[in-house]
Structure 1
């Protein structure tokens, strides 16, 4: 799920730093600096980068940090018993039943949003707005000219929606059926196949509509639009396509053991454009996670220093 020198809006970084400093916690003690803070390292590149950044910021405050490989579901056992101290990037659409049970039992604590602006839904290369002028309104997908542009030999007479790979699961087919859209969802073979199609469509200006999510490293390369999704008729929100929350979670004893670290992680944020650029550096250019994260730390002291100041001063 995703050269660090980049154009970035200086005003947004300064505004973020000011906001965090203004709303920061009162000064706290470091606590048990002799015991490492153990951060869960999950399976996808974006979470690994978020975790590296958090660990480096904690190290700047004077803590030692260990990075512990952990699966998305097994991590909750470690967080509940304290063998893991924190996890930095939990997606609310991928938590199963164990996460809410651990929260309810008080074994873990949700300490707030990571700050990523997430998206999930039907996306298209921006040039599609010339082919289907009503986009991003979903009703544009009913226009015969738009449908014809998206039609393939596999989907005649319907337009084609490139869906998630079959083993990922998807709600697109149900939403198409519920709204009687002239589209057929065709599963992609893999994430790599989806990226290849998106890049080819951008290069050749070929019509494409696909199920996708953000942040994703390819979005630092290709600008897409997002369909304002059709109505979802299900009574179960999990059956609908909606942006997931991305949250930070700590072991219930974290605040008492590392008070300043707790305040730092509460304030810790990662912005989606930054994560997308960092993921691209790792996945497309082959840079190491550690080097990419260290580059962000070196270039963004104006962002992370207020987190330390608010916790420690």
Structure 2
């Protein structure tokens, strides 16, 4: 029964009335958001996507877009949308599955010592990607974060580090950051780019990374540095053996069968030439009457036959002892 003077409540099932046109537009917008892009559309969007690394962990999409607009100025005034973040480090207990990871991100249960994440930004056209990368690369946003930008997929340039300008860092702590590496190599020269190899689930460092210098001479200076420590742990700095600067730098590469055969034949040829030179030397030495072996001539041991009294060597000349 409805009391007089009181407005009746609207049943929950009815909802707010909407015009047919507004309802149709809302349904169309919702369907477009949920629609997944096909393979061709994904490839086209990948060409228009910019990768940005070492973004401060607490930054939002609005903060990143604002920093990019300020750096780009009048160079580019197109769209910077959508923006999404990846490689967000969460505590180990939240990294067991994708659902747990999402829950950890909602609760902002970030891992201790982690301070950065990566971002992807879609722009107008593939031609705008190099312009934006040039403007954003090495952009210092605060005291501990210097952004690094690159293309995605075929447009990526930092996939291969220049071996002559790069060094390999090993024995790194799992919570190392790019600012730590830049700081420890500061005396060698300006670091152009840093790539830390991390675990996909936990985002912990796997123990090694690559650092690229702006100048080639800085590599030699970095190799001469000593007593380098990050978070109290000693690290090692060596040359990059792999031309691509990949994860297997410093490890022996598996060669093709024809390459291995060619290397083996060259080794055998060098061994035969060395053996021939040694034989010629021995023949010349024998002809000159020289001794060809370094081994000393064996000493002839003299057997001493003593009498029943067993004479000592000092009494060999005495009576009663025979040699």
So what's the TM-score if we normalise by structure 2? 0.19
Q: Greater helix percent: which structure?
A: 1
Q: Which has the higher contact order (CA 8 A, sep 6+)?
A: 1
